Amino acid sequence: MFAIDLGAAGDGGRGELRPLEPWQAEEFWAHMQRGSDFIGQYVGLPDVVKDLESARGLLQRYAEKAAADQGRMYGIWLDGTLVGAVTLRLFDAEARTCEVGCWVEPAAAGKGLVTRACRVLIDWAVGVRGIHRVEWICDRENLPSINVAKRLGMRRDGVLREAYFYRGVWHDEEVWSVLGPEWLEAR
């Protein structure tokens, strides 16, 4: 299909952004197996993707979201291995809003790939689709995710106290955002 070069990953490796689709379920499942403990610290994805069938099901749901223009998922590959993903988890072209999300396995953490991949998504959402508000929502304790929001030039809108129940504990979420005009001015 297409691939976007995300550049050097800091250790000499190269990152690449590509669509992540149902036919890649085995590769996605292998990625989830490698990264589930790390990813599951703050993201419930490993509790949803428990086997090859559920991996395929999640990718199919995102394919359907893309077909309905309601969301998208793109994989992050490091030297040919799927190591994470970025999503337009929610995408509402009519309301001109979207939510960007991400996760990576340990092999990709701290290499700048997520920030670069998110820039590609936001550039497209704002520049091509006319999205006015891009949101980033993460666990209040997820400092790497908060730091990505900061690097993207987002502002902290606030905290949703005890917004979700995960693995037996209530968690606060931080909401960050950037507005289309702010994004374009900064770029």
Band of residue 180 on the pLDDT scale cut at 50, 70, 90: very high
Q: Report which residue type is found at 122.
A: I
- What pLDDT score was predicted for residue 2? 84
Residues 141-147, mean pLDDT to the nearest whole number: 97
> Helices marked H in 40-168 — which ranges?
45-48, 52-67, 113-122, 143-151
Cα dihedral across residues 162, 167, 169, 172: positive or negative: negative
Strand runs (DSSP E) across 29-104, as ranges?
Answer: 72-78, 81-92, 97-104
Residues 142, 147, 153, 154, Cα dihedral to 10°: 10
For the chain, the residue count is: 187
How much of the chain, in percent, has pLDDT values that exceed 70? 99
The widest CA-to-CA distance across the chain, in whole angstroms, is 44
pLDDT 10s digits, 25-83: 999 999 999 999 999 999 999 999 999 999 999 999 999 999 999 999 999 999 999 99
Place 1 in a pLDDT band, splitting at 50, 70 and 90. Answer: low
pLDDT tens for each residue of 146-170 = 999 999 999 999 999 999 999 999 9
pTM of the model: 0.94
What pLDDT does 179 receive?
Answer: 98
Q: Which residue's entry shows tokens 């304790």?
A: 141
**Residue 131 · residue 97 · CB < 8 Å:** yes
Domains of the chain: 4-186 (3.40.630.30)
Confidence of residue 138 (pLDDT cuts 50, 70, 90): very high
Tokens 């490993």 -> residue: 46
Work out the pLDDT band at 9, boundaries 50, 70, 90.
confident
- 19: nearest Cα among 79, 90, 59, 73: 73
pLDDT, averaged across the chain = 95
